[in-house]
Amino acid sequence: MAKKKTTKLEEIGIAEKAKKKVNTRFGLLSHFIVFAVANSLFFGLDFFVTKDADWAFLPLFGWGIGLFIHSLFVVFGDFLDKWKDGAVENEIKKLKEKKD
């Protein structure tokens, strides 16, 4: 089976997609690090100022939901990209069939 030869333009497109995926993963990692540091500071501040952690759970819960949603987009991003690419290919086929 012969390997498909890629053009320079296709290689650039592949490199851009790879760069985007890596940036997305690093974005999630930085989001998690900021989440962990900030919430640790919130709990420390809450404990040392009021001697019990009662309000620090609120930002932890709210921000945790946002972090969870962000992680879902990162994890399922490949699935969504493949689904969109397939939908675009189907539309191209339909348009070519109408043209003929």
Q: What are the tens digits of pLDDT across the range 53-71?
A: 689 999 999 999 999 999 9
- Assess if residue 3 is contained within a domain: no
- Assess if residue 58 is contained within a domain: yes
Tokens matching residue 80: 């969504």
| pTM exceeds cut of 0.75 | no
- Assess if residue 28 is contained within a domain: yes
**Would you state the pLDDT for residue 78?**
79
Reported as a pLDDT band with limits 50, 70 and 90, residue 6 is low
Rounded to the nearest 10 degrees, the angle between the axes of helix 8-50 and helix 57-75 is: 170
If one counts the domains in the chain, the total is 1
CA atoms within 13 A on the CB side of 9: 0
Contacts 24+ apart (CB under 8 A), 63-72: 63/35, 63/38, 63/39, 64/35, 67/31, 67/32, 67/35, 70/27, 70/28, 70/31, 71/28
Q: Mind listing the pLDDT tens digit for each residue in 86-100?
A: 898 899 898 888 876
- Assess if residue 8 is contained within a domain: no
- Assess if residue 46 is contained within a domain: yes
Tell me which residue range forms the domain holding 41. 22-99
- Assess if residue 11 is contained within a domain: no
- Assess if residue 89 is contained within a domain: yes
**Would you state the pLDDT for residue 81?**
82
